């Protein structure tokens, strides 16, 4: 190659960790050099003695196309004329140390062979798809998601639906666009959240052990097919969130681990560089090039695939040095603490850069501890995420609802404790894939009682989720009452929808989403105290609680009341803010939801009878295992 393609400025920015479009320079790109069309390859391997490009074009012979090291940057490059899209390739790396030699896949590859094959494919993702979502993207920039309804449908693309008559194969991205998007839209969800779709070798990892950070998995089609899916979502006013995994990566020989014969992407000391639980390696967040790799990857998905949000998996494992480690198996930071200062700094930088370049995009943390300020701006000491999963609420509420109702009066604290911290973060309330695997049972099967009570309990649980402050997330299958635990290797049990209880539960979720959208009191003030008021949480003996949700317009409010035992209650009085007629806008015991049809004939007039320290009150009939929602007219 007569001329370098990478400039000194590229090398400088990559070295200092600020080349946020380094995916345009590293990896494999079809370009023209000195009038010749071919492919430019570049890879970071600072401790390599020799790096070659190998592929079908040179019979996988590392002697044919050795690369050139660019100064002391650690980056190797070569231009091979005559090559084009579709070429299979890897990098053959010989290290300076220990006689190490390995065939590595490209960390920046845009497309891969279908597993179990592991080669990268030269692929130009530019101009492969003509985007038609300009209106969505423009509106998104100005969208205030904090005051909007956010109902997320969490999906594993490999098991939402399959094609049993065709060897139980996956649906393609385009088939999913035709089937999944109308389904999600009909149910009223605002977003689809995808378990990781970046390329991964092992189906059983569900995508959480990524090899190809810049490639949508080829299991379901080509990159432009995934673009088509996202575009169709946007045209139907559905946002797309993807799970993003900067916490760890697998040890597969062709992957990032021990990339150039040294611990390049990971820490060398296993006390800092290895997750024993998962058998994976931890990124070295203190290294500029590694930070640059991850931050540019986040921006890549937002820019090239128009993704609307990134949910960062396993944040707790990143920010604690002693996460799931025994004493002596971790290294304190320079101040003697257990905080991973480099990871914290990385997460702050990630959030700052994402929000700077892409206003309106959500960053969401799955963080399972009480780390303060996860969803607070970095300039006041927070990590900078838009929102955080409320894992504490999820554990407490599932523990409560899994109890036999006869014992619930002793566990009211599980229902109410979350209100002590509900506004310390911008919370999402998640019933995710993690709650329906590994012997935890499906959402429906967690519920106690006979079949009727299980469905009634689940409707009440979903009612509590939608009434409680915070945005919402529900894993696929939970909306119609899957009996079995989730199995990543099989389709959901769609045949259940031929049975009334499942069909009507699905309608209940749809109606909840409709109310959630149309009632400002249910979504406008999720993250501040003035959107919520208790009416009564003291009636533990009857397992009845009630509260008010208010919109930004304080006079716009809803009354929620929950009866969480299988006993109907007649003449039950609760205090309300004003006189007038209170319309019963939702009753989970309605026959249209497979309930017993006990209720209040559409609504109740408030009496001038003081109750619960309020001047007016409602005299109600409470169905068993139910939620009622009232709106004053």
Please report which helix (H) or strand (E) contains residue 435, including its range: none
Q: 451-467 and 391-401 helices cross at what angle (nearest 10)?
A: 150
d(CA 216, CA 199): 6
Instruction: Provide the b/e sequence for 541-571 (b: ≥16 CB within 10 Å).
Output: eebbbbbbbbbeeeeebbbbbbbbbbebbee
d(CA 445, CA 439): 11
DSSP per-residue codes, 372-430: TTTTS-GGGT----SEEE-HHHHHHHHHHHTS-GGGGGG-HHHHHGGGGTTTSS-EEEE
Q: Say if residues 79 and 43 touch (Cβ distance below 8 Å).
A: no
Structure tokens at 368: 């399972």
Instruction: Provide the b/e sequence for 2-13 (b: ≥16 CB within 10 Å).
Output: eebbbeeebbeb
> Residues near 398 by Cβ (< 8 Å), separated by ≥ 6?
431, 435, 446
Q: Say if residues 281 and 269 touch (Cβ distance below 8 Å).
A: no
Rg (CA), the chain: 27
Give the catalytic positions in this structure. 313, 366
d(CA 194, CA 519): 27
Q: How far is CA 300 from CA 23, 210, 354, 360, 367, in A?
A: 8, 16, 10, 16, 24
Pairing state between β 309-312 and 362-365: parallel
Q: Say if residues 87 and 81 touch (Cβ distance below 8 Å).
A: no
Q: Give start and end residues of each alpha helix (H) in 153-282.
A: 173-187, 223-235, 270-273
d(CA 477, CA 290): 37
Side-chain-side CA neighbours of 446 within 13 Å: the count stands at: 24
Q: What pairs with residue 50 in β-bridges?
A: 94
d(CA 96, CA 75): 15
d(CA 316, CA 394): 16
Please report which helix (H) or strand (E) contains residue 206, including its range: none
Instruction: Provide the b/e sequence for 428-459 (b: ≥16 CB within 10 Å).
Output: bbbbbbbbbbeeebbbbbbbbeeeebbbbbbb
What DSSP state is assigned to residue 281? E
């Amino acid at each position: 190659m007569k001329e370098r393609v990478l400039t000194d400025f590229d090398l400088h920015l990559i070295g200092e960790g600020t080349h946020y479009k380094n995916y345009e320079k590293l990896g494999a790109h079809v370009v023209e050099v000195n009038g010749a069309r071919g492919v430019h390859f570049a890879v970071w391997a600072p401790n390599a003695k020799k790096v070659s490009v190998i592929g079908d074009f040179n019979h996988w012979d590392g002697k044919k196309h050795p690369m050139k090291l660019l100064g002391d940057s650690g980056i190797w490059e070569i231009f091979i004329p005559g090559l084009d899209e579709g070429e299979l390739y890897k990098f053959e790396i010989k290290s300076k140390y220990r006689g190490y030699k390995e065939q590595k896949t490209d960390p920046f590859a845009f497309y891969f062979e279908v597993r179990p094959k592991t080669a990268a494919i030269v692929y130009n993702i530019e101009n492969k798809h003509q985007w038609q979502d300009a209106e969505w993207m423009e509106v998104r920039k100005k969208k205030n998601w904090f005051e909007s309804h956010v109902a997320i449908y969490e999906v594993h693309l490999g098991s939402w639906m399959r094609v049993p008559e065709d060897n139980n194969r996956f649906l393609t991205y385009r088939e999913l666009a035709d089937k999944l998007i109308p389904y999600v839209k009909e149910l009223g969800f605002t977003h689809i959240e995808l378990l990781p779709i970046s390329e991964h070798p092992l189906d059983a990892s569900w995508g959480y052990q990524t090899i190809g950070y810049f490639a949508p998995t080829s299991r379901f089609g080509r990159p432009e097919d995934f673009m088509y899916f996202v575009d169709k979502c946007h045209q139907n006013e559905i946002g797309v969130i993807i799970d993003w995994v900067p916490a760890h990566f697998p040890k597969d020989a062709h992957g990032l681990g021990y990339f150039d014969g040294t611990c390049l992407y990971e820490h060398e000391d296993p006390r800092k560089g290895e997750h024993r639980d998962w058998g994976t390696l931890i990124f070295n967040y203190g290294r500029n090039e590694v930070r640059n790799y991850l931050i540019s990857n986040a921006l890549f998905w937002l820019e090239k695939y128009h993704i609307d949000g990134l949910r960062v998996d396993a944040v707790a494992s990143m920010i604690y040095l002693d996460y799931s480690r025994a004493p002596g198996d971790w290294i304190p930071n320079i101040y003697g603490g257990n905080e991973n200062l480099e990871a914290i700094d990385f997460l702050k930088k990630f959030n700052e850069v994402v929000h700077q370049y892409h206003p309106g995009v959500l960053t969401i943390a799955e963080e399972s501890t009480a780390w303060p300020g996860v969803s607070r701006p970095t300039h006041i000491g927070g990590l900078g995420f838009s929102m955080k999963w409320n894992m504490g609420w999820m554990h407490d509420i599932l523990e409560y609802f899994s109890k036999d109702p006869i014992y619930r009066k002793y566990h009211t604290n599980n229902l109410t404790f979350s209100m002590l911290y509900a506004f310390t973060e911008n919370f999402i309330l998640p019933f995710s894939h993690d709650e329906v695997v590994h012997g935890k049972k499906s959402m429906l099967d967690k519920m106690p009682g006979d079949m009727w009570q299980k469905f009634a309990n689940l409707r009440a649980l979903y009612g509590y989720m939608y009434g409680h402050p915070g945005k919402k997330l529900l894993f696929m299958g939970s909306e119609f009452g899957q009996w079995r635990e989730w199995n990543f290797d099989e389709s959901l049990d769609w045949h259940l929808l031929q049975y009334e209880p499942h069909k009507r539960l699905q309608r209940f979720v749809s109606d909840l989403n409709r109310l959630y959208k149309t009632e400002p009191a249910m979504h406008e003030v999720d993250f501040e105290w003035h959107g919520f008021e208790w009416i009564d949480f003291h009636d533990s003996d009857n397992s009845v609680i009630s509260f008010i949700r208010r919109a930004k317009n304080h006079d716009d409010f809803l009354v929620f009341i929950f009866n969480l035992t299988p006993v109907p209650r007649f003449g039950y009085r609760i205090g309300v803010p004003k006189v007038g007629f209170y319309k019963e806008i939702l009753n989970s015991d309605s026959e249209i939801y497979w309930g017993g049809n006990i209720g209040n004939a559409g609504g109740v007039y408030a009496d001038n009878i003081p109750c619960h320290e309020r001047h007016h009150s409602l005299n109600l009939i409470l169905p068993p295992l139910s939620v009622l929602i009232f709106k004053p007219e």
